[in-house]
Amino acid sequence: MKTIKELINKIMYDKRENPKDYTLLYFDRVTRRKVELKFIDIDRIENGFMIVIKDKGEINIPLHRVREVRKKYKVVWKR
């Protein structure tokens, strides 16, 4: 199985993949639930974190919190 970092890089840089087809579910430790994130909302990957730009600024989400990746609602990776 690929690591989450390898999968994210494949989605970002493989021209055969369409990032708009993907969503991620990550565990939010504040709300204690899984949160869905559109892949296209990821700005970049740095030092083990996904950097997401939202209205209030940057959000840093650790890669180890990603629990699932879906392509068009089909699970393609799961922790």
54 is a domain residue: yes
Residue 77 pLDDT: 97
Torsion of CA 64, 19, 11, 73, to 10 degrees: 60
68 is a domain residue: yes
64 is a domain residue: yes
Number of domains in the chain: 1
Taking residues 21-30, what's their average pLDDT?
A: 96
Q: How far apart are CA 58 and CA 10, in angstroms?
A: 23
Structural domain containing residue 58: 4-74
79 is a domain residue: no
pTM for the model? 0.88
Taking residues 42-60, what's their average pLDDT?
A: 90
Residue 2 pLDDT: 86
Residue 55 pLDDT: 82
CATH number at residue 13: 2.30.30
25 is a domain residue: yes
